[in-house]
Structure 1
Amino acid sequence: MSSMEMVILGAMTILLLFWLQPGLKAALTRSKQAQADWQGVLLPIGLVVMFVIFLIAMV
């Protein structure tokens, strides 16, 4: 990658962060006020782990 491409990519990244900042700030505020839902997190992770174990066992 040339240095000019890296500069443009860095500038685009910074602009994207400034563009998304209000939405990210609001999402973080809402997430601090929300109740913890560990079952909603652990169930999909457990299913993925079981599926991977199943795939490994099938080989």
Structure 2
Amino acid sequence: MATGDPMSGLETVILGALTILLLFWLQPGLKAAIARGKQAPSDWQSVILPLGLVVMFVIFLIAMV
């Protein structure tokens, strides 16, 4: 193990294997969610309005510094 290395090689391999297993386990639900999302009507205003408010708030905070 290298000095300052937070994870050993075995831990990295186990974490990678668990990540791949999780992706395979969630795959059917993700496919169904994507299919439902393609059929749903798009409503961009519900995304743009909160995003714009957050951007304006961040600009306000930066201006206050």
Task: State TM-score, norm by structure 2.
Answer: 0.85
1 or 2, which has the higher helix percentage?
Answer: 1
1:39 to 41, 45, 64: 45
Question: Structure 1: where are the runs of 5+ without partners?
Answer: none
Structure label with greater radius of gyration: 2
With normalisation by structure 1, the TM-score equals: 0.93
Report the identity percentage: 80
Structure 2 residue ranges without an equivalent (≥5): 1-6
Higher relative contact order (CA 8 A, sep 6+): 2
The alpha-carbon deviation at position 2 of structure 1 amounts to 1.4
Tell me by how many angstroms 1:19 deviates.
Answer: 1.2
How many residue pairs get aligned? The number is: 59
